[in-house]
Structure 1
Amino acid sequence: MLRAMRMDDLDAVLRIQREAYGDDYQESAEVLARKLRLAPDACWFAERDGVGLGYVFAHPWTAGAPRLHAPLASLPPAADHGFLHDLAVSPRARGERLGGRLFAQVLDWSRAAEHRGLQLVALADAVGFWRRLGFVPCAQALPEGYGVGAVLMRLV
């Protein structure tokens, strides 16, 4: 079941994040909670039988990427893009197309908000996944912390 994310989902989100990424890209509950507070209509959680299986955080943004591991102070007042900050699926749900369903939620949200575009940072091993969904690389430098091979991408 896909539903709007709640603050009490953050423990499960942190578990899924660790399962999906290992220890390399762990963001704190503080950073994720701030995104949820700023854009509650752009964050979803997937569960089955009360067990969290996946999540997605998105928020309004301008072109480019926000810093990783840093709480957003606020959203840009003239945000004209959607930014898909993080989408992760537990290995227990792989093969169930949950990532595609979570992405569809973000895409619907971004279109309903009439954003000019949707952007994300793809980690090196996820570039192919996002290309298959229509994203192309942008020639813009990323803030530190995203790791070697990470790429800013936009949906065409």
Structure 2
Amino acid sequence: MTAMAGQTFRWREASLPDLVSVSEIQLVVHEAFPEDGHVLADRLELSPEGCFMLEVGGVAQGYVLSHPWVRRAPPSLNSMLGEIPAAADTWYIHDLALLPETRGSGAGGNVVPLRYGEDAVYMERALA
């Protein structure tokens, strides 16, 4: 947890009920490119260990969705993955979204090392 303008922000593992908040946040952050709820659920179900919610004062303010994938071959937006490829060799950050009032707080930089550790400098982590 980290202090932010007198409040505390906390990244926690995301769960299926969080997809309501994820959908609401993406409509603000990615107004022109929202993804369908079943696409978001697909990513969370395939890789729950790579999905986090940002809370400030107990209210959702951001999220990150990530999953193993094949390096340099990102999946299309708003498309179902169905499964993680057997040849997955990197962690792919599908989306890291923060509501405007949370930007500049350091929250985005805080979650990347939480999941990706030292390899976060390159924004990908080899799985092999």
- TM-score w.r.t. structure 1 length? 0.67
Alignment RMSD (CA, Å): 2.1
Match of 1:34 among 29, 32, 42: 42
Residue in 2 that maps onto 1:25: 33
What are structure 1's unaligned runs of at least 5 residues? Answer: 112-117, 119-132, 136-153
Match of 1:78 among 83, 87, 90: 87
Give the structure, 1 or 2, with the largest relative contact order (CA under 8 Å, sep 6 or more): 2
CA 1:134–1:74: 2 relative to 1, 3 Å: closer
Q: Is 2:63 the partner of 1:55? A: yes
What is the number of equivalent residue pairs in this alignment? 115
Aligned-residue identity in percent: 34
What are structure 2's unaligned runs of at least 5 residues? Answer: 1-9
Matches within 5 A, 1:65-144: 65-108=74-117
Q: Is the 8 A contact 1:84 1:106 kept in 2?
A: no
Which deviations, in whole Å up to 9, do the C-alpha atoms of 1:96-117 show, x marking residues without a partner? 1111112223323x95xxxxxx
